């Protein structure tokens, strides 16, 4: 579970960093690559700082803890601002064509309405024998052709408009629930969703990183890490009472052993006779009791 926590934290942090860096680069479009490098360094430093703060919270100086905590909070706000900019721009780009499409449809609808009113007027005059003429008939035909051309222009725009409505259908339902069907309701709903994403995106990544450190610390306390360097290099550990000698130096050691044999140590040979002397005339010497 510890590794899954770290994996989720790094995954969220990576995606949040990607969105944030692109969002900041769009805000400062004049210095795209410098902003990308700066944002990458800040995102990496934020994760390291959060992890270091948890590990050294009790021993770190108070002033250092205060500044680093403040820096992490500010970096989280910057990341959230970059995410907001990235998502907002993507929404604007998706609705830009829809806005232009809507304006063109409104213009065609107005032209259609004017042409229909003129056609109705001309038809009313054509019914009156006193005003009927060939010129009037020609005007009626021209107006009908104009209406046909307007309908042909409206047809692809209506299809595109329906497609855009289908694309923003879910967010449109959210807008209808919270803001009604008024002007600007869709934009308000989009901003609400982006704000909710900001609240749980980067903060969740940082908290998951801290949670992973908590799990790792508990694991280290219950199962201390053993030094396994000798095993890693496939080398048997050398006992404390032995000296390790390189293979190339064995011949030299043997020559020294022959020329300077080691002195024997230990107890003397038990089989050898040891002469002992005892002074019976000493003041406190033990004497056998003389028999009477």
List, for residues 50-96, the tens digit of each pLDDT value: 999 998 998 999 999 999 999 999 999 998 888 888 888 887 777 77
Q: Is residue 212 part of a domain?
A: yes
In a domain, 289, yes or no: no
Residue 280 falls inside a structural domain: no
| Both structure tokens of 189 | 């709903």
**Burial of 204 per CB tally in 10 Å (0-12, 13-18, 19+):** middle
Is the predicted pLDDT of residue 248 greater than 90, yes or no? no
In a domain, 257, yes or no: no
Residue 150 has pLDDT above 70, yes or no: yes
At residue 228 the predicted structure's pLDDT band, cuts being 50, 70 and 90, is very low
Distances (CA, A) of 165 to 24, 86, 161, 181, 248: 29, 22, 6, 14, 83
Other Cβ atoms less than 10 A from the Cβ of 56: the count is: 13
Digit-coded pLDDT (tens) for 99-138 = 667 778 888 889 989 999 988 888 888 887 777 778 888 8
| Helices 32-55, 2-27: inter-axial angle, 10-degree rounding | 150
**Percent of the chain surpassing pLDDT 90:** 15
The pLDDT value given to residue 128: 76
pTM, two decimal places: 0.57
Residue 18 lies in a domain: yes
Q: Is residue 196 part of a domain?
A: yes
Q: Give the per-residue pLDDT at 288.
A: 53
Give residue 230's pLDDT band: very low, low, confident or very high (50, 70, 90). very low
Domain with 65, as residue range(s), is 2-222
161 vs 28: CA distance, rounded Å: 33
DSSP string, 96-132: HHHHHHHHHHHHHHHHHHHHHHHHHHHHHHHHSTTT-
Whether 283 maps to a domain, the answer reads no
The number of distinct structural domains making up the chain is 1
């Amino acid at each position: 579970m510890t590794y899954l926590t770290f994996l989720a934290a790094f995954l969220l942090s990576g995606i949040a960093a990607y969105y944030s860096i692109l969002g900041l680069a769009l805000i400062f479009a004049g210095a795209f690559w410098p902003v990308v490098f700066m944002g990458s360094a800040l995102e990496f430093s934020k994760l390291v700082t959060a992890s270091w703060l948890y590990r050294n919270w009790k021993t770190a100086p108070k002033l250092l803890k205060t500044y680093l905590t403040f820096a992490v909070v500010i970096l989280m706000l910057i990341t959230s601002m970059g995410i907001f900019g990235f998502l907002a721009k993507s929404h604007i780009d998706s609705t830009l064509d829809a806005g232009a499409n809507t304006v063109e449809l409104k213009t065609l609808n107005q032209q259609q309405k004017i042409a229909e009113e003129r056609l109705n007027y001309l038809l009313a005059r054509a019914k009156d024998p006193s005003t009927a003429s060939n010129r009037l008939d020609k005007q009626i035909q021209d107006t009908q052709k104009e209406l046909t051309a307007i309908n042909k222009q409206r047809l692809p725009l209506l299809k595109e408009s329906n497609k855009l409505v289908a694309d923003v259908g879910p967010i449109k339902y959210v807008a209808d629930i919270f803001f009604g069907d008024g002007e600007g309701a869709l934009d308000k709903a989009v901003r609400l969703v982006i704000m909710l994403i900001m609240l749980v995106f980067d903060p969740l990544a940082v908290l998951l990183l801290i949670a992973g450190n908590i799990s790792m610390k508990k694991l280290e306390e219950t199962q201390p890490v053993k030094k396994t360097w000798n095993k890693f290099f496939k080398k048997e550990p050398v006992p404390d009472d032995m000296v390790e000698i390189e293979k190339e130096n064995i011949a030299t050691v043997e020559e020294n052993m022959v020329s300077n044999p080691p002195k024997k140590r230990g107890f003397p040979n038990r089989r050898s006779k040891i002469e002992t002397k005892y002074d019976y005339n000493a003041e406190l010497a033990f004497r056998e009791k003389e028999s009477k």
